A and B are shown apart, each in its own frame.
Chain A
């Protein structure tokens, strides 16, 4: 079963508005990552947040992590039409950290973001 569950499944906004996507997970994690995918292409890494961090910024992106609620959110501020893509969260379990299963990464089903010009 999927570790990360994104919400909403689809989001449609106007240029200039902010977009917020949420990710929930079930187990204790070592880190959580957000990726972007343009229409059938390879995923591109956006930002990684570790379990001992609560917030990270990268340009117009802001990621928060609440380990007590097992959830994360990705905020894209001042969205542009070029931000139209699918966004995925992925988790690396704490149980796998440092062990032979460290390579295991679990993705959510993604949020489809459409930004209208």
Chain B
């Protein structure tokens, strides 16, 4: 089954304690992205990656880091979380090419990670 998985699904942490949210996809997609969703603000892109070792900033990258060492994984790292990073986070993947019945450019989203920073 084609899917994007995220872990953990829920996380409560304290200010300054480094954390990593993992994201993995099994569709061999080239593109992966991280978004945060906040009430009234919709989804805002944090970082995206076009392929292994290629990452770029989205609209709200401050306070976040990412890495893309393998095609399937795209972890989101918060080196020193702050309360304003409390949000619902989504990972997504896509490919610019049609393959195995999957449409080009269609983004597959993970189930979300609800993060609370106290």
Using CB atoms and an 8 Å cutoff, list the residues of chain A in contact with chain B.
2, 31, 33, 35, 40-45, 48, 88, 90, 92, 100-110
- With both beta carbons as reference points, the residue of chain A lying nearest to B48 in the complex is identified as A103
Verify if B88 is at the interface (C-beta below 8 Å from A). Answer: yes
Interface string of B19-45 (1 = CB under 8 A from A): 000000000000101010000111111
Which residues of chain B come closer than 8 Å to A31, judged between CB atoms? 105
Please, which residue of chain B has its CB at the minimum distance from the CB of A43? B109
Q: Which 6 A-B pairs have the closest CB atoms?
A: A103-B48, A42-B109, A109-B42, A107-B43, A45-B106, A43-B109
Given contacts A92-B105, A107-B43, contact A40 B88 (CB under 8 A): yes
Q: Which residues of B contact A106 (CB under 8 A)?
A: 45, 59
Provided the pairs A40-B88, A42-B90, A43-B90 are in contact, do residues A105 and B107 lie with their beta carbons within 8 angstroms?
yes
12 A-B pairs with C-beta separation under 8 A: A42-B109, A45-B103, A48-B103, A92-B105, A100-B56, A102-B31, A103-B49, A104-B48, A104-B58, A107-B43, A109-B42, A110-B42
Partner of B96, one of A40, A101, A102, A107: A102
Inter-chain contacts of A41 with B (CB < 8 A): 111-112
Chain B nearest CB, measured from A87 CB (Å) = 11
- Chain B residues with Cβ below 8 Å from A105 are 33, 45, 48, 107
Closest Cβ–Cβ distance, residue A103 to chain B (whole Å): 4
